[in-house]
Structure 1
Amino acid sequence: MLLVLSGSPFVAPDIGAQGITVTVNGVQAADRSFSRHFRCERIEVVVSLPEGEAGRPLEIVIGISHPGQPLRHGMGDDERNLGLLLAGLTVKAAPPCSGASSSPYRGLPAYQFWRRSISGVEHHRIDPVTHTRFKIGRNARVGTAGSCFAQHISRRIMASGFNYFVTEAGDDIDEAQRGKRNYGTFSARYGNVYTTVQLLQLFEEAFGQRVPRDRAWPRPDGRFIDPFRQQIEPDGFADEAAVIADRDRHLAAVRRLFEETDIFVFTLGLTEAWRSREDGSVFSAAPGVVGGTFDESRHAFVNFDLAETYGALKTFLEKFHALNPVARVLLTVSPVPLIATYEPRSVLVSTTYSKAVLRVAAEMALKQFDWVDYFPSYEIITGSFSGGLYYEPDRREVNALGVSHAMRCFMQNYIDGRDPKAADVAPEAVRKASAAGIVCDEEIMGSARA
């Protein structure tokens, strides 16, 4: 049976897309999305009913996802909640199939088609989040770690009055010094954790499962740094003992974070790193850039492949879940390109490789663990639909417009009790998120060549 509807959907300015479902005799037959207001649309629905229902009257139900009042939006004086002006409805016998089954794509939701959900929607209203495995309640303790882009999520959570979980806040330090010394930038004072291997070794060190050989490196000015968070203390430490004492305090904060957090957000950022040939420890930057001395016999460059990247991520997730089985993990991939590559090739090629590995690793985790979810900030910022509008003139830094779009989608889909209309406003109406103050350890690689 073929059901043909013709009508004009009501699409209010703050909706972006009107959703219409068609159910026949209790069975959903179609799910469509329309972005153009009052444009006459034709909806064809193939309905397959059980043989036992032959001759039974048809009960056709049309559901409207976002009914709206024209009066409320300055579109007339009509106070009714409108969704679809139905001009006609026809029931026909379905055409013969000539031995072939109907297309498996028929009747799929709009978000599975490019024209319906991407090219047919205004770019700032595109939301690629379709199903979420969990919501974030106002009292849920949310911890974050990862690349520079992860800080945008923590800032939006804090600004919205939710419980951003910080276990290393520097409460005993003058408030003016906390920001400078990187307290509160992430949930604990670990700086950027760019690779999954860094994340795993941090967890293992915090719980006494590994002890790195490198403990403190000297700087050219005589001060000392932590090899695994080299820029966390801008003025450096007085001596090796001070580095070790501060790291012990830091690891205690990391333990508390993993033990008590309800939601852990990790942004995968890089595959390139520098590590020790002696024990495999991955450093936050190459030896000799901020402090220490590069020694080819002791230090090596590595560009992690998919097996290494996912292997470390999988091991971390398993250990974290065993420690804190009620916690949930939200993975994202940073949309920020590499600032430099050590591979003898274009940084553009290295960026593509790195992001591909990280994105696939996140997908593998999503498929293996039902308590892990993926938020597509990478797709929102880098998608072709934006035409590059979400980057600064350097084509690398994400601008305020892109951050706002990604964070609107995040808040809309993951924050429990969120007003749906609050996230569906034009970007010009959203307070622009500033990139100022974002801590990015990778930046040191760009200045190292100068």
Structure 2
Amino acid sequence: MTAQPAAPATFEAIVGQIRDLGYKYIQEKDFISAQLAFKKLLELDGKDINGRFVLAQLIDDGSHKKRAEARDMMLAILEEHPEIFGNPSEGNLHLIRSAAVRCSHVGPFAKAIELFRKLAHASNLAGDYFQLSEILTQGSFFEESIASLQKAMELDPANFDTPTNRETLDIARSRLSAPAPKTEKEKKKIGRYPETEVFLGDFQKLVKDHIAVNLKSEDRFINKSTKFFTMGSCFARNLSRSLVTNGYVSHHMEISEYINTTFANRVFVDWLSDRDIDDAIRERIVSLLPGGWSKENTLQVLRNSDVFILTLGVAPAFFDRVTGDFVLPRPTALNSRVLAEKYVFRTTSVRENVENVTYLLDFIRKISPGIKVVVTVSPVPLVASFEHESAVQADCLSKSTMRLVAHEVVNHSNISNILYWPSFEVFRWAGSHAGSYYAADDGAAWHVSEEKVAGTISAFIEMFSAA
């Protein structure tokens, strides 16, 4: 008898062989080959739920990108098959748990909370309740978080009824039983870093609810009769211009970007106070005054202003190599480069700048005792550095210094009626998540977007407007 040819393998048989091969590779820890096998499996049968889940786990190499890719694959399965939540088999619970864990790692946290809630109630396992307790803190569900931790301890006391968890539970319960805070400022709040969709969403909501959120309880001190005086760099000029556009009276004292330091602010105060200062510095101040400005009308505008906005610029400044005295150079790039050889150009300290700003504000308050002080940090970068080869690193050091100065002055200098407005954070932090904060108008990387400046001022006005 002649041998009969083997019957062609059925589709189901081929799929089964590929699946078996994929599991064999997993047992052998050959995960690359396993991925290829399950990808081939899904090419043949894209609806294979188990194959999709296995591949999602295989591609998760721990990196954010691959973890997010695995998360999306798992969430797609759950969205297409909602019946999984009603059938708490071991495999289904494993899928829900895996998706929840990945959401807790790379977001969205709201989805992680939703999945862990469903998982814990379906599995009734201590570990799932413990994870639920942890992720609930991301959504500030404090009471539910406590209850979930307690549930985990009751279900598995050997692993979860620990001294640390008992202490946590005791402290949490005492906080719940404590009298409710009488004011907003007494409440202990937890700040959460916004998710990407928040940064890319409504700009005003981002500023008010995630960046300047701590200022919501501040007094509303702005109305249409409020007069502003801004001082500092070109960013302060943009602020003043935007205020005028919004119908407010605002005067701006221009200080060149090259010398926008608190040391320049200090000698300017000395000039206004008729103190004995170096003749060269006096001449430079007079030459830097905007057209039509004088000592007398500067003092008059300050006396008539209701809000003084001080924009802190840069930390580096020029100093005499012999005496160590501050030097006020001419505001041109060439002269600054030449003077960098003649003088010391260094990044000044937080303490030096705090002393200078305090000195300035003490003078402002003598001129106008009831004036509201708003401190900001200019987001405009340091265009050049004669101290560091990388202007980017120099700018980071400079802005970090000035942000600390603002914090110290506003929070630890015993100055009343003062606040910090986070325009710097709006541009540097929100701007790192979106592409329209710098160079939007002219392509220059060091120029801030006029639209975003206007939006920042709109948020400022809306937050503090009494009318």
**What band does the TM-score fall into relative to the shorter chain?**
0.5 to 0.7
Aligned-residue offset at 1:105 = 11
| Distance change (3 Å), C-alpha of 1:356 and 1:229 | farther
**Alpha-carbon spacing, 1:284–1:315, altered in 2? closer, same or farther (3 Å):** same
Report the counterpart of residue 201 of structure 2 in structure 1.
Answer: 122
Question: Aligned ranges for residues 21-60 of structure 1 at < 5 Å?
Answer: none
Greater fraction of residues in strand: 1
Q: CA deviation at 1:416?
A: 2.9
Higher relative contact order (CA 8 A, sep 6+): 1
Answering whether residue 209 of structure 2 is matched by residue 209 of structure 1, we say no
Aligned length: 292
Query: How far apart, CA to CA, are the structure 1 residues paired with 2:362 and 2:271?
Result: 16
- State whether residues 340 and 386 of structure 2, in contact with CA within 8 Å, keep that contact through their aligned partners in structure 1: no
The verdict on how the C-alpha distance between 1:229 and 1:281 changes in structure 2, with shifts beyond 3 A counting, is farther
Q: Is this contact kept in 2: 1:272–1:303, CA < 8 A?
A: yes
| 2:172 alignment partner, one of 80, 102, 115 | 102
Once the two structures are TM-superposed, the CA of residue 232 in structure 1 deviates from its matched residue by: 5.5
Asked if 1 retains the 8 angstrom alpha-carbon contact of 2:220 and 2:465, the reply is no
Cα RMSD (Å) of the superposition? 4.3
TM-score by structure 2 length?
0.53
Q: Deviation at 1:146?
A: 0.2
- Residue 226 of structure 2, aligned match among 126, 140, 160: 140
Aligned to 2:368: 324
CA distance in 2, matches of 1:280, 1:134: 42
Aligned partner letter, 1:264 = F
- Matches of 2:390 and 2:340, distance apart in 1: 25
1:122/1:343 CA distance change after superposition, 3 Å: same
Q: CA deviation at 1:323?
A: 3.3
Mark the CA change 1:266 to 1:306 in structure 2 (over 3 Å): closer, same or farther: same
- Report the Cα distance in structure 2 between the residues aligned to 1:189 and 1:323, rounded to whole angstroms: 19
Q: 1:349-428 alignment to 2 at 5 Å?
A: 349-367=393-411, 368=413, 369-384=415-430, 386-392=433-439, 393-417=443-467
CA distance in 2, matches of 1:207, 1:335: 30
Cα deviation for residue 395 of structure 1 reads 2.6
Is the 8 Å Cα contact of residues 147 and 269 (structure 1) preserved in structure 2? yes
Is the 8 Å Cα contact of residues 309 and 373 (structure 2) preserved in structure 1?
A: yes
Amino acid at match of 1:402: K
Q: Quick check: 2:384–2:391 contact (8 Å CA) kept in 1?
A: yes
Matched to 1:158, the amino acid is V
Quick check: which has more Rg, 1 or 2? 2
Corresponding residue number in structure 2 for 1:199: 265
Q: Which has the higher helix share?
A: 2
Please state how far the C-alpha of 1:306 moved relative to its aligned partner. 1.0
CA separation of 1:212 and 1:386: change in aligned 2, threshold 3 A? same
1:435-446 to 2 correspondence within 5 Å? Answer: none
Q: 5+ unaligned residues in a row in structure 1: which ranges?
A: 1-35, 45-89, 167-185, 217-225, 235-245, 418-450
**2:317 equivalent among 251, 254, 273:** 273
State the shift of 1:257 in Å. Answer: 3.0
Counterpart contact for 1:201–1:281, Cα < 8 Å: no
Tell me how far apart the structure 1 counterparts of residues 256 and 392 of structure 2 sit (CA, whole Å): 25
Residue pairs, 1:156-195, within 5 angstroms:
156-164=242-250, 166=251, 186=252, 188=253, 194-195=260-261
